Amino acid sequence: MKWKVVGDILIVEGDFFAISSGVLGGWGRVDHLFNHTVRDTELEDPKSYVKSIAKEFGLKRFFGLLTAVPMDKLAVVEVEDVTAFVTAGITNPNEKIGTINTIIVVNGDMPESAMINAIITATEAKSFALLNYGLNFTGTSTDAIIVAKTGKGRYYEYAGYASELGRKIWISVKRAVLESLAKWGSNFLKP
C-alpha cells in the first residue's frame, strides 16, 4: 500500500478487496481508495462528481469518499498491519454538513463477515472518541467508511473489539479521530 495527499485529495494505492458506504460504494476489488475535499457542498450529482475526480487522477477501479474537511486535517494512524485515515469535521451533528470519513486498510486477510464487523468496530471507536472529546453525539449525518484488505499477510477470522484485529482497528480509528479533531484547534466545530 502507498498513499499520498495531492492538494484536496488523499489517494491510497494498492490491490484491495473493499467495502464502501460512500457514493458508488458497495463491495469490490479496487486499486485506489480516495477521500476528496469538496468545495461546493451542494453537489447536484455526487455520483458524476466522484467519477470526474477519479478520471482527473486516472483512477479506474476505485472507491471514493467526499468531505468538506480540508486535507490538512487528515490524521493517519498505523497500528501494526492496520492503517486508519480519518478526516473529522463536526459542524452540526446529524443536521447539517459535518463529515467524519474513515478509510481502514488491513494488510492482511479476513472473511467478508469480518469486514462488516470492522465497520461496526470502527464506528464504535469513532463514537467513543467523540464522547471522550467532550461532545454529546456519536457521528454526523454524512459519515462514510471504507474497509479494505490486501489479502496478504496474516489471516483474521474476526474484527469485533474482543479480537486482535478489532483492537487494532479500535485503537487506530480512535486515535485518528482525536488527532483530526485536534488539528482544528479551538475551531473544532467548523466543517
Query: How many of the other CB atoms lie within 10 Å of CB of 60?
Result: 9
| Cα–Cα distance list, 147 to 113, 115, 152, 176, 183 (Å) | 12, 7, 15, 15, 24
Q: Which CATH class is domain 2-187?
A: alpha beta
pLDDT of 93 reads 53
What mean pLDDT do residues 121-134 have? 94
40-89 tens-digit pLDDT: 766 789 999 999 999 999 999 999 999 989 999 999 999 999 999 999 98
Indicate the domain borders of the chain: 2-187
- Separation of alpha carbons 183 and 22, rounded Å: 24
Residues recorded for the chain: 191
Task: Tell me the whole-structure pTM to 2 decimals.
Answer: 0.94
What mean pLDDT do residues 168-176 have? 98
- Separation of alpha carbons 16 and 131, rounded Å: 32
